[in-house]
Amino acid sequence: MSEPTKVVVFGATGGTGRRIIEQGLEAGHRVTAVARRPSAIEVRHERLEVVEGDVLRPETLEKPVADADAVLSALGIGYSRAHTTVYSEGTANIMAAMRAAGVRRLGVISTTSLDPPPVLSDPLQWLFFRGVLHQVLRRPYADVRVMEGEVRASELDWTVLRAARLTNGPRTGKYRTAFDGRIRGGWSISRADVADFLLTRIEDARTYRVAVDIAY
């Protein structure tokens, strides 16, 4: 009998991170959840290890990443307008720890709204992205863009999962994806289905070194 897959989750206390943990355990994986406040993770399971770590403190990352099969990052600051480096610096530190440990598989969550669709293909969505989100969230979006560039330039087996507006809906397993493309009219996706995609594609080589849009 083969050993369970070891999945390391960053951003483990957020809404998406929690769903990755839950679904990872349901799937039979060994899950390591990394959190600045381990007490914030209330799930208890024999295959769950909760480790204190901070993505902005690289010395705390090497131990939890050691012997991992996959690293999934749900880092985020929600809809905060504040300047941040948690996406770019945090992800760079994660990748450095992965290189040190010889771990290659990485999945990171980004957003479909980073690059709006062409105005003629979906005028309403383009107006909302450009006129609202990019004005309100321009500082965190700038850091997300840096993060994407760092991940894309890496030699790792990465997936950048660009999610539409996140909701707390159920896992359906029924969603649209576009590989290095855009989804017309894709306004939302549940955190549970984002977790579903990341976990079910860990060993899917078609998702390596590609950005994937996901939405309903």
- Tens digit of pLDDT for each residue in 24-65? 999 999 999 999 999 999 999 999 999 999 999 999 999 999
What mean pLDDT value characterizes the chain? Answer: 91
Checking if the pLDDT of 11 tops 80, the result is yes
pLDDT at 101: 97
Rounded average pLDDT over 132-144? 74
CB 164 within 8 A of CB 110: no
pLDDT at 160: 98
CA distance 148 to 159: 10
CATH numbers and ranges of domains, the chain: 6-215 (3.40.50.720)
Q: Mind listing the pLDDT tens digit for each residue in 113-136?
A: 887 666 556 677 666 666 566 565
Contact 7, 70 (CB under 8 A): yes
Measured CA distances, 135 to 5, 14, 46, 154 (Å)? 41, 24, 45, 29
pLDDT above 70: residue 107: yes
> CA-to-CA distance for 61 and 58, rounded, in angstroms?
5
What pTM, to 2 d.p., does this model score? 0.90
| pLDDT of the residue at 27 | 98
CA distances from 114 to 1, 104, 197 (A): 43, 25, 20
Write out 127-193 in H/E/C secondary structure.
HHHHHHHHHHCHHHHHHHHHHHHHHHHCCCEEEEEEECEEECCCCCCCCEEEECCCCCCCCEEEHHH
Per-residue pLDDT at 187: 87
DSSP label at residue 58: G
> Which is higher by pLDDT, 190 or 182?
190
Residue 210, SS3?
strand
Strand 176-179 to 210-215 pairing: antiparallel
Per-residue model confidence (pLDDT) at position 63: 95
CA distance 131 to 86: 25
Q: What is the pLDDT of residue 116?
A: 67
Angle at 54 (CA atoms; ends 49, 57), nearest 5 degrees: 130
69: pLDDT strictly greater than 60: yes
